[in-house]
Structure 1
Amino acid sequence: MDIEKIAKAIEMDAGERLPDIRESLQEMVDGKAASVHTPEQLMLRTTRQKLGLSQSDFARLIRTPVTTLCDWEQGRFNPPGSLMCLVEIADKRPDVLRDVLM
């Protein structure tokens, strides 16, 4: 695999120099695993942080063990759809969540 050729093609397509692309391509060739974040995982963590709550406080708010919340945020397990619905409400209307649950 010609990493330089691929990197140049990606940069040309992006319209800018991408300083870490060569290193990333080499890691791919070497079989190094990358971190993968699901949209649910990112939304859960971002919303909790947006509310200004620690993992412990947020877990208490949504009435779930903090270890379960950590598992969801770290991608070990997927959060249930009902929780993601609550998180979406919290993200868009934090005042509603606070009025109802706090």
Structure 2
Amino acid sequence: MDKQLFNELVQSMEEMVAIEKGEMQPARVHRHPLPDVKALREATGLKQDEFARAVGVSPSLVQSWEQKRRFPSGSALKILLMLDHNPAIINDLLAI
């Protein structure tokens, strides 16, 4: 490995440790806005188990999302974002 590349890697690791310890702020932080699952579900008029079936997850996961104990990710997040932009697709999801 090139010595300069190795030194840059070591410096990056040291910065990571400093950020984790709170001694340094990251240069940038990228945050994705998360949908308000409870508001989405309530807007559809569905119960948690019905909404879970439409989205393709368990009712306990929907409950965890609503209580902010867990956060949607992957395809479930995409579906929730689609619902946020177009609530009418809930009917298509329920039909699948």
TM-score band by shorter chain is: 0.5 to 0.7
Specify every segment of 5 or more residues in structure 2 that has no aligned partner in the other structure, as ranges.
1-32
Question: What corresponds to 2:55 in structure 1?
Answer: 62
Structure 1 match to 2:36: 43
Letter paired with 1:77: R
Counterpart-to-counterpart distance in 2, 1:78 and 1:100: 20
TM-score (normalised: structure 2): 0.55
| Long gaps (5+) in structure 1 | 1-38
Structure holding more helix per residue: 1
Contact 2:44 2:90 (8 Å CA) reproduced: no
1:34 aligns with: none
What is the one-letter code of the residue matched to 2:83? A
Q: Within 2, Cα distance between the matches of 1:69 and 1:96?
A: 18
Name segments (4+ residues, structure 1) moved above 3 Å.
Answer: none
Identity %: 30
What CA deviation, in whole Å up to 9, does each residue of 1:24-50 have, x standing for no partner?
xxxxxxxxxxxxxxx63x611111111
Partners of 2:38 and 2:83 lie apart in 1 by: 12
Output the CA distance in 2 between the equivalents of 1:100 and 1:62. 7
How far 1:65 moved relative to its partner? 1.1
TM-score (norm 1): 0.52
Task: Report the RMSD for the aligned CA atoms in angstroms.
Answer: 1.9
- Equivalent-residue separation in structure 2 for 1:73 and 1:57 (angstroms): 14
Displacement of 1:95 in angstroms is 2.1
- 1:1-102 pair list within 5 angstroms: 40=34, 43-102=36-95
Give the Cα separation in 2 of the matches to 1:69 and 1:63. 10
Q: How many residues are matched?
A: 63
The CA deviation at 1:94 is 2.0
